[in-house]
C-alpha cells in the first residue's frame, strides 16, 4: 500500500472495488427480491439527521450516543441548537419519516426496507468499522405477534437464500414496559450485592441502564450475572408477555427457523420491547451478530405520535460477507458479473476502428472494455485483458483491418476465429450465451 501524506483513507472506512462491490450488489439484489415477495416497499432517508433523533431513540446513555457519533459543523442557527450527525442506524430515521409524512395518521400497516451506509466512531476491528452498510426492514403499525414471526422468518430465509449454514437466531423476550421496570429493579437489587466484583462499565451501567449489565462481555461479569440474575429473568415477565413469547417460539419452530433462546440477550439500543433477536454466525468470533433487531413498541410515542407497534431488523452487509467468506462461499450473481470482452489494437493506427467496435458492442449490451491508451503494445493490452479475466478478446491488426475482419479469441478454450466487422456482435452474443 502506498502512502499519500495527509490524504489517506480514514481509519475504519474502506474503498470498495468492483469485485467486492459485485458481492454487495448481489446481496442487496437478493434481499430486495425477498423483501418484495413479503410486500416491503423501499424508503431512502438522508445520511444526516439531528442528534436529538438518536438521543431520544437509541438512548442518551447508550455507547453509540456517548462515544460514537459523527457530529457535523453547524450551517445555521437551527443546527447550532440541535446538532447534525451522520446516522448511526436506520430505524429512528424511518420512524421519523413515517411520522413526518403523515403516514402515521392513517390506519395503515407500513412495511419498509432500506439499504445504505451507517456511521459509528467505534474502535475498528474485524467486523466492526466506522462506516458500514446495513440492509434493514421495519414493520410499523401492528402489535400482532405475527409481525415478530414474519420479521424473524424473513431474516432466516434471507440467510438461507444467501447460502449461510453456520448460523442461528438468538432470541429473547424483555417484556412490556412494566416487565422491563421490574427486570431493571431486580438487576439493580441483585447486582448491588456483587457490584464490587463487576467491571467498572457494569458499575456505571447499574446506575444508568441496568439491563445492559446483561450484555457485558467481561468473563467475570458474565459468570456472576448468568448465575445470579439471568436465569431468574423469565420469571419476572407478566403472563401475557410470557404467553406471547411462547406462541412466537412455537410458530418459529413450525416454520423451521433455527433459533436458540438466550435469557441474557439484550441490545445496545434503548428502544426495544418484547422480542429481541440476533442472527449469530458461529465462525465470526466476538462480532458474531450478522443481523439484529426486535420489537420497539414505544418509539413512535417517544417521537410524539400515538401508539404504534413496530418490529424490524438490520443486517450488516460487511459482516454477512465475512460470514460467507468463513464458509468459503462467494456471492457471484451471473446477472451482475457478465462475461467481458476486451477489444485490442495491434498498433495506434487501428485504434480508431477498435474504439468504434468497443462502442458498438456496448450499444448492443455487451460488456466491452478497451484500454484507453493507444500507445500500449498489443502484448501489454493482452496482459491487461488476462489480468481482468476477459472472457473474449477481439484483436484488430494489419491483416484483419485490410480484410475488414477481427480475430476473436475465446480466452477459456483458446479457440480463435476470424469474424467480419458486421458479424462481431452476433457472434459474441452467441458465444456469451453458451
Ligand atoms: P445494530 O445491532 O446496532 O441494530 O446493528 C445491526 C447490524 O449492523 C449488526 O448486527 C451488524 O451486523 C451491523 N453493524 C453494527 N455496527 C457495526 C459496525 N460498527 N461495523 C460493521 N457492522 C456493524 C440496529 O442498527 C437496529 N437499527 C436494528 C433494528 C432494525 N432494530 C429494529 N429494526
Which residue among 208, 234, 260 closes a domain?
234
User: Residue 191's pLDDT is what?
Assistant: 79
Does residue 22 form part of some domain? yes
Does residue 333 form part of some domain? no
Question: Per the structure, how many domains does the chain have?
Answer: 3
User: Residue 1's pLDDT is what?
Assistant: 67
pLDDT at 335 over 80: no
Ligand 1 centroid distance, CA of 225 (Å): 25
Q: Whose CA is nearest to atom 18 of ligand 1?
A: 128
Mean pLDDT of the 183-194 span = 85
How many CB atoms are closer than 10 A to CB 312? 26
Q: Whose CA is nearest to atom 11 of ligand 1?
A: 316
Does residue 135 share a domain with residue 91? yes
Q: Whose CA is nearest to atom 1 of ligand 1?
A: 292
Residue 413 has φ and ψ, to the nearest 5°, of -95, -20
Residue 396: CATH number of its domain:
3.40.50.800
Name the residue of 27, 89, 120 whose CB sits within 8 Å of the most ligand 1 atoms, as the mutation to test its pocket.
89
User: Residue 3's pLDDT is what?
Assistant: 79
User: Residue 334's pLDDT is what?
Assistant: 53
Average the pLDDT over each of 1-5, 26-30, 247-251 and give the range with the smallest value: 1-5
Cell numbers describing residue 400: 484483419
User: Residue 193's pLDDT is what?
Assistant: 80
Does residue 37 share a domain with residue 27? yes
Name the residue of 319, 324, 326 whose CB sits within 8 Å of the most ligand 1 atoms, as the mutation to test its pocket.
319
Cα gap 158→179, rounded to integer Å? 32
- Among all chains, which residue has been given the C-alpha cell 445492559? 212
Ligand 1 centroid distance, CA of 347 (Å): 53
The ligand 1 atom at the shortest distance from the C-alpha of residue 64 is: 3
Ligand 1 centroid distance, CA of 59 (Å): 15
Does residue 121 share a domain with residue 198? no
Closest to 97 measured CA to CA, from 138, 56, 134: 138
User: Residue 107's pLDDT is what?
Assistant: 72
Name the residue of 136, 155, 292, 320 whose CB sits within 8 Å of the most ligand 1 atoms, as the mutation to test its pocket.
292
Mean pLDDT of the 403-432 span = 96
For the four alpha carbons of 119, 288, 175 and 213, in that order, the dihedral sign comes to: negative
Ligand 1 centroid distance, CA of 316 (Å): 6
The ligand 1 atom at the shortest distance from the C-alpha of residue 320 is: 12
Does residue 348 form part of some domain? yes
User: Residue 214's pLDDT is what?
Assistant: 84
Does residue 163 share a domain with residue 70? yes
* Better-scored residue on pLDDT, 151 or 2: 151
Which residue among 192, 209, 234 closes a domain?
234
User: Residue 188's pLDDT is what?
Assistant: 86
Does residue 112 share a domain with residue 23? yes
Does residue 322 form part of some domain? yes
Does residue 186 share a domain with residue 110? no
Does residue 1 form part of some domain? no
The ligand 1 atom at the shortest distance from the C-alpha of residue 296 is: 32
Residue 258: pLDDT band (50, 70, 90) is very high
Name the residue of 59, 130, 132 whose CB sits within 8 Å of the most ligand 1 atoms, as the mutation to test its pocket.
132
Q: What is the pLDDT of residues 131-159, one digit of tens each?
A: 999 999 999 999 999 999 999 999 999 99
Contact residues of ligand 1, CB 6 A cut-off: 89-91, 120, 122, 127-129, 132, 134, 136, 138, 269, 289-294, 296, 312-314, 316, 318-319
Does residue 5 form part of some domain? no
Does residue 411 share a domain with residue 268? no
pTM as predicted: 0.88
Mean pLDDT of the 52-70 span = 92
Ligand 1 centroid distance, CA of 185 (Å): 28
Residue 212: pLDDT band (50, 70, 90) is confident
Which residue among 186, 212, 234 closes a domain?
234
Residue 123: pLDDT band (50, 70, 90) is very high
pLDDT at 337 over 70: no
User: Residue 433's pLDDT is what?
Assistant: 84
Does residue 209 share a domain with residue 345? no
Q: Whose CA is nearest to atom 20 of ligand 1?
A: 128
Ligand 1 centroid distance, CA of 290 (Å): 8
Q: Whose CA is nearest to atom 25 of ligand 1?
A: 89
Mean pLDDT of the 166-190 span = 93
Does residue 92 form part of some domain? yes
* 141 and 312 Cβ atoms separated by less than 8 Å: no
Does residue 185 form part of some domain? yes
Mean pLDDT of the 123-129 span = 94
What mean pLDDT is reported for the chain?
Answer: 92
Q: Which domain holds residue 351?
A: 340-433
Show the CA angle centred on residue 17, arms to residues 16 and 19, nearest 5°: 120
How many CB atoms are closer than 10 A to CB 46? 11
Does residue 301 share a domain with residue 201? no
The ligand 1 atom at the shortest distance from the C-alpha of residue 289 is: 10
Does residue 422 share a domain with residue 314? no
Does residue 137 share a domain with residue 156? yes
Residue 172: CATH number of its domain:
3.30.930.10
* 354 and 395 Cβ atoms separated by less than 8 Å: no
Name the residue of 316, 317, 321, 323 whose CB sits within 8 Å of the most ligand 1 atoms, as the mutation to test its pocket.
316
Cα gap 336→25, rounded to integer Å? 8
Ligand 1 centroid distance, CA of 383 (Å): 42
User: Residue 121's pLDDT is what?
Assistant: 96
pLDDT at 325 over 90: yes
Q: Whose CA is nearest to atom 21 of ligand 1?
A: 128
The ligand 1 atom at the shortest distance from the C-alpha of residue 312 is: 33
Cα gap 429→366, rounded to integer Å? 8
pLDDT at 425 over 90: yes
The ligand 1 atom at the shortest distance from the C-alpha of residue 129 is: 20
Q: Whose CA is nearest to atom 31 of ligand 1?
A: 293
pLDDT at 56 over 80: yes
Does residue 273 share a domain with residue 187? no
Amino acid at each position: 500500500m502506498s502512502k499519500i501524506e495527509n490524504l489517506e483513507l480514514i481509519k475504519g472506512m474502506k474503498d470498495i472495488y468492483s469485485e467486492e462491490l459485485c458481492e454487495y450488489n448481489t446481496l442487496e439484489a437478493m434481499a430486495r427480491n425477498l423483501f418484495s415477495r413479503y410486500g416491503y416497499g423501499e424508503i431512502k432517508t438522508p445520511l444526516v439527521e439531528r442528534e436529538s433523533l438518536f438521543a431520544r431513540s437509541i438512548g442518551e446513555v447508550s455507547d453509540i450516543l456517548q462515544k460514537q457519533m459523527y457530529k457535523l459543523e453547524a450551517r445555521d442557527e437551527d443546527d447550532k441548537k440541535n446538532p447534525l450527525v451522520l446516522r448511526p442506524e436506520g430505524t429512528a430515521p424511518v420512524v421519523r419519516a413515517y411520522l413526518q409524512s403523515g403516514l402515521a395518521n392513517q390506519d395503515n400497516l407500513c412495511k419498509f426496507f432500506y439499504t445504505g451506509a451507517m456511521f459509528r466512531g467505534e474502535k475498528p476491528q474485524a467486523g466492526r468499522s466506522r462506516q458500514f452498510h446495513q440492509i434493514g426492514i421495519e414493520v410499523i403499525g401492528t402489535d400482532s405477534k405475527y409481525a415478530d414471526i414474519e420479521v424473524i422468518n424473513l431474516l432466516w430465509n434471507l440467510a438461507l437464500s444467501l447460502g449461510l449454514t453456520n448460523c442461528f437466531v438468538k432470541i429473547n423476550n424483555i417484556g412490556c414496559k412494566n416487565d422491563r421496570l421490574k427486570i431493571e429493579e431486580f438487576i439493580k437489587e441483585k447486582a448491588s450485592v456483587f457490584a464490587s466484583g463487576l467491571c467498572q462499565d457494569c458499575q456505571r451501567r447499574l446506575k444508568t441502564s441496568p439491563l445492559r449489565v446483561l450484555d457485558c462481555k467481561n468473563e467475570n461479569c458474565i459468570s456472576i450475572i448468568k448465575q445470579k440474575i439471568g436465569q431468574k429473568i423469565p420469571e419476572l415477565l407478566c403472563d401475557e408477555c410470557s404467553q406471547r413469547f411462547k406462541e412466537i417460539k412455537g410458530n418459529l419452530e413450525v416454520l423451521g427457523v433455527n433459533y436458540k433462546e438466550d435469557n441474557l440477550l439484550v441490545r445496545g439500543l434503548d428502544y426495544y420491547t418484547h422480542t429481541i433477536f440476533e442472527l449469530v454466525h458461529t465462525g465470526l468470533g466476538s462480532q458474531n451478530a450478522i443481523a439484529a433487531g426486535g420489537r420497539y413498541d414505544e418509539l413512535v410515542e417517544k417521537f410524539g405520535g400515538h401508539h404504534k407497534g413496530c418490529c424490524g431488523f438490520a443486517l450488516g452487509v460487511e459482516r454477512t460477507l465475512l460470514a460467507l467468506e468463513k464458509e468459503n462461499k462467494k456471492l457471484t450473481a451471473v446477472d451482475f458479473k457478465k462475461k467481458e470482452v476486451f477489444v485490442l489494437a495491434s498498433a495506434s493506427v487501428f485504434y480508431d476502428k477498435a474504439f468504434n467496435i468497443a462502442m458498438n458492442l456496448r450499444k448492443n449490451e455487451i460488456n466491452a472494455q478497451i484500454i484507453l491508451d493507444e500507445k500500449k503494445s498489443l502484448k501489454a493490452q493482452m496482459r491487461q485483458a488476462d489480468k481482468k479475466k476477459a472472457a473474449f478478446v477481439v484483436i484488430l491488426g494489419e491483416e484483419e483491418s485490410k480484410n475488414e475482419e477481427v480475430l476473436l479469441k475465446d480466452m477459456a478454450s483458446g479457440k480463435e476465429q476470424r469474424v467480419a466487422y458486421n458479424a462481431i456482435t452476433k457472434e459474441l452474443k452467441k458465444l456469451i450465451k453458451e
